[in-house]
Amino acid sequence: MLLQKMKVLLDDPVSYTLESHLVSDEKEIIPMNNLIGKTIRMHFDGKMQCTSCGKEKKIFAQGFCYSCFTDAPESSPCIIKPELCEGHLNKGRDIEWEQRNHVQPHIVYLAVASGLKVGVTRATQVPTRWIDQGATYCIKVAETPYRQLAGEIEVALKNVFKDKTNWRKMLKNEIGDYDLEEEKWQIEELLPAELAAYMTEDDDITEIHYPVLDFPDKVKSIGFDKQPLIEGQLLGIKGQYLLLDGDRVLNIRKHTGYHVGIDVG
């Protein structure tokens, strides 16, 4: 199957599904929660397929070949830095794509995956984005009509809050203790009035539980580039990582576009 980011559903615990669409006309679906506690075997056959153009080409980054990485709207610089987005100005790599995806309501949020971080996502991506990051607690801070404004708020808060997750601590389930509602309303004093006006009154805290039997004591990252055959007992899933025995972790999202066979022992 062609690896892609696992689909998620907020449940108790989170429900994970691995799906493949591009390798063949048939759709492969694997309910990953059902495999937890079992021995799985994954073999990379050496083939890669760009998830944008669909061609069998070496993956450069994020599931894209080099050409699509430099040209596709899904890999625009404003994906990483929302403050650079120009979709609301009718600019971008693909104006129609920008209108559908970036000139839409966006959420600025606080999340605790290990420490406290600030982030931005399209409103329709809540809570998917939070789950993909392995967050345990999340709260909405502001809602804006388009991406660039949300990016401005995030930039204004970066001196106080981190914007990246310590993925090793996240996978070891080392979670800091924070009062998210209190942290949120301290933000109001940090923002200029024109940005503070977008803060939301929604103070609900989303708590997320992951299907994990045992968290690693140490984190040993593994991947198909160096190890085409990966097998072992699946002990859990958090974020977009498979947690295997021996403290090994496999980032599924990092291997988007890889052709991998999966067997259950």
- Three-state SS across the chain? CECCCCEEECCCCCEEEEEECCCCCCCEEEEHHHHCCCEEEEEEEEEECCCCCCCCCCCCECCECHHHHHHCHHHCHHHHCHHHCCHHHCCCCCHHHHHHHCCCCEEEEEEECCCEEEEEEEHHHCCHHHHHCCCCEEEEEEEECCHHHHHHHHHHHCCCCECCCCHHHHHCCCCCCCCHHHHHHHHCCCCCHHHHCCECCCCCEEECCCCECCCCCCCEEECCCCCCEEEEEEEEEECCEEEECCCEEEECHHHCCEEEEEEEC
Q: What is the pLDDT of residue 21?
A: 58
What predicted TM-score, i.e. pTM, was given to this entire model? 0.94
User: b/e for 96-127, b at 16 or more Cβ within 10 A?
Assistant: eebeebbbbebbbbbbbbbbbbbbbbbeebbb
Cα–Cα distance between 223 and 149 in angstroms, integer? 37
| pLDDT one-digit tens code per residue, 69-121 | 999 999 999 999 999 999 999 999 999 999 999 999 999 999 999 999 999 99
Tens digits of pLDDT across the chain (265 residues) = 889 999 999 999 999 999 875 445 567 899 999 999 999 999 999 999 999 999 999 999 989 999 999 999 999 999 999 999 999 999 999 999 999 999 999 999 999 999 999 999 999 999 999 999 999 999 999 999 999 999 999 999 988 888 888 999 999 999 999 999 999 999 988 999 999 999 999 999 999 999 999 999 999 999 999 999 999 999 999 999 999 999 999 999 999 999 999 999 7
Cα–Cα distance between 69 and 62 in angstroms, integer? 8
- Domain boundaries along the sequence of the chain: 7-70+212-264, 76-207
